[in-house]
Amino acid sequence: MFKTIIWATDGSEAADHALPTALEPTGEANGSLLVVHANERLGGGAGGVPVLADEVDLQRKLETKAHDLVESVVNASFHLVSGLNGDPADLIADLAKESDADLIVVGTRGHGRVAGMLLGSVTHSYTSHRARY
């Protein structure tokens, strides 16, 4: 059974749709859910500039979501991973290793392979990380 599950979210509707998939095995194994968001930053300087203009609001939203899950008797915690010019998939995979996670659940917008390659996708990036993780 899965004891530690990561729900990697960017706050999008697609990511929200993946939450029930992450919650199901958590309840079955009395496990814990790590709500993880990758704070992508661009450039150098003093920590760089967040990729998303509403990053602070998004972090608050996800912290509130984790709190709401705890209130509904889910062992959940919010984790923010960040890095300069880093790939979100790498940041999330690193946390998965550190926390000895059994499963990573990520929502997808449903782009096909070509659109996913052109537009980029954290979900598609996990395919290349499976061997490392």
Cα-based distances in Å from 29 to 46, 76, 95: 42, 14, 21
Rounded to whole angstroms, the Cα distance separating 71 from 3 reads: 19
Print the domain residue range for 55.
4-129
- Quote the crossing angle between the two packed helices 122-129 and 88-98, to the nearest 10°: 50
- Residue 49, strand partner residues: 42
Q: What is the pLDDT along the chain (133 residues), one digit of tens a residue?
A: 789 999 999 888 888 999 999 999 887 778 899 999 988 766 655 555 555 556 788 889 999 999 999 999 899 999 999 877 678 889 999 999 999 999 999 987 654 444 444 444 454 454 444 444 4
Predicted local confidence at residue 27, as pLDDT = 76
CATH of the domain at 67: 3.40.50.620
Structural domain total, the chain: 1
* 95, amino acid identity: L
Q: pTM for the complete prediction? A: 0.74
Question: What is the number of alpha carbons within 13 Å of residue 2 lying toward its C-beta?
Answer: 21
Backbone angles phi, psi at 96, to 5 degrees: -60, -40
Predicted local confidence at residue 130, as pLDDT = 46
